[in-house]
Amino acid sequence: MILVATEYCPFCMRCILALEEKGIKYELSLVNLAKKAEFPELLSPYERVPVLKHDGKSIWESSVICEYLEDICPNPSLLPTDPWKRANARFWIDFCNTRFMPTYFNLLKSSKGSKREILRNDLLDHLGFMNTAGLSKWDHSSPYWMGKQVSLADFAFYPFFERFADVEEYRGIEISSELKNLQNWIETMRNHPAIGLVSRPRSHYVEYFRNYYAD
């Protein structure tokens, strides 16, 4: 099994976390997308990564890859067994993919002005929604998004918080102390063993993203 990925990609990190948590043996093949014309056969139809290559076939898109891993290696499970809870996990993964993530990246790519302020407020609203609607039942006995066990919902969101220094440093966003559930969840994730295998310090991200997002 080979995961084609790039460094610093949060979508690739999702897949790496799922592979590590499930204990699946894999090879990590890092590519430079600035030179993607040299290896089109490695990429998805959208010319993107991650791509999982397994049994001579390719699987594309991080959320699809993670569910594929759940199908072929159901233990340990990264989705709840209860159908309603499983649907709820998929709701939050969809929220991350269709609402939180686009706002996050559009804010980073925005220029100074009114549009940036709108995006900043939208991202703050999303953080508040995650804190109350998603993590309102947070407690130390059920520290993860879906309860006592880490899930694909946790792995969907966390890579963006691993890199959250970019919006803090370059777009003036902070996770308010009022968002206690979210803060507690982030701290729990930072201490999760799979995260420790790929995590980098905040200062590393601040410096790396300077050339991309500093005004």
| pLDDT tens column, 10-65 | 999 999 999 999 999 999 999 999 898 899 999 999 999 999 999 999 999 999 99
Which letter does DSSP use for residue 137 in this model?
T
Question: What are the tens digits of pLDDT across the range 122-158?
Answer: 999 999 999 999 998 766 677 899 989 999 999 999 9
Is the model's pLDDT at 197 over the cut of 70? yes
User: Which of the listed residues 19, 52, 72 is the one where a domain comes to its end?
Assistant: 72
Q: What is the mean pLDDT of residues 85-114?
A: 96
User: 21: domain range?
Assistant: 2-72
pLDDT confidence of residue 138: 62
pLDDT confidence of residue 140: 64
Q: Are residues 38 and 94 in the same domain?
A: no
Distance CA 110, CA 172 (A): 13
Percent of the chain with pLDDT over 90: 93
Distance CA 159, CA 162 (A): 5
Q: Are residues 104 and 135 in the same domain?
A: yes
Q: Are residues 100 and 174 in the same domain?
A: yes
3-state secondary structure of 129: helix
Distance CA 155, CA 160 (A): 10
Instruction: Tell me the pLDDT band of 215, cut-offs 50, 70 and 90.
Output: confident
Is the model's pLDDT at 117 over the cut of 80? yes
Q: What is the mean pLDDT of residues 85-92?
A: 95
Q: Does the model's pTM come out above 0.85?
A: yes
Q: Is residue 185 part of a domain?
A: yes
User: Which of the listed residues 48, 72, 96 is the one where a domain comes to its end?
Assistant: 72
Q: What is the mean pLDDT of residues 173-185?
A: 94
Among the listed residues 140, 144, 168, the one whose alpha carbon sits nearest the alpha carbon of residue 155? 144
Is the model's pLDDT at 194 over the cut of 70? yes
pLDDT confidence of residue 69: 98
Q: Is residue 93 part of a domain?
A: yes
Q: Are residues 118 and 206 in the same domain?
A: yes
User: Which of the listed residues 24, 44, 72 is the one where a domain comes to its end?
Assistant: 72
pLDDT confidence of residue 137: 73
Q: Are residues 90 and 182 in the same domain?
A: yes
Q: How many domains does the chain have?
A: 2
Q: Is residue 78 part of a domain?
A: no
Mean of all residue pLDDT scores within the chain: 95
pLDDT confidence of residue 207: 95
Q: Is residue 77 part of a domain?
A: no
Q: Are residues 97 and 47 in the same domain?
A: no
Q: Are residues 142 and 197 in the same domain?
A: yes
| DSSP assignments along 65-105, one per residue | HHHHHHHH--SS-SS-SSHHHHHHHHHHHHHIIIIIHHHHH
pLDDT confidence of residue 136: 81
Q: Are residues 159 and 107 in the same domain?
A: yes
Distance CA 202, CA 170 (A): 13
Q: Are residues 171 and 207 in the same domain?
A: yes
Percent of the chain with pLDDT over 70: 98
CATH number of the domain encompassing residue 22: 3.40.30.10
